[in-house]
Amino acid sequence: MVRLTDAQLAEVLQAARTVPVDLRQVFLERLAIELHGKEIGDGLVHRVAHEVARTIAWDAERMAAVG
């Protein structure tokens, strides 16, 4: 389990807005995997949440363009 402060949760929610709705569960799962076992701070949560969101959104756009 990953425990977040209110500010960190707000960062996660902001990043999630850039992810297609049907992929938000995948986003949360990948984020939890990336944060697991790390010392969680505001900067790390911001960076990782936005990186994971960007990767998922980019992959979704690429698949839509191909398919």
Name 45's Cβ contacts closer than 8 Å, sequence gap at least 6: 4, 8, 11, 12, 35
Q: Is residue 18 a part of any domain in this protein? A: yes
Read off the pTM: 0.87
Q: Is residue 39 a part of any domain in this protein? A: yes
Q: Is residue 49 a part of any domain in this protein? A: yes
Q: Is residue 47 a part of any domain in this protein? A: yes
Label residue 46 by pLDDT band (50, 70, 90): very high
Which tokens belong to 49?
Answer: 């949440």
The number of distinct structural domains making up the chain is 1
Q: Is residue 1 a part of any domain in this protein? A: no
Looking at every residue in the chain, the average pLDDT score rounds to 93
Say whether pLDDT at 67 is over 70.
no
The domain containing residue 43 runs over which residues?
6-66
Label residue 60 by pLDDT band (50, 70, 90): confident
**Neighbour count for residue 12 (Cβ, 10 Å):** 21
**Alpha carbons 15 and 27: distance in angstroms, whole number:** 9
What ranges make up the beta strands (E) of the chain? Answer: none
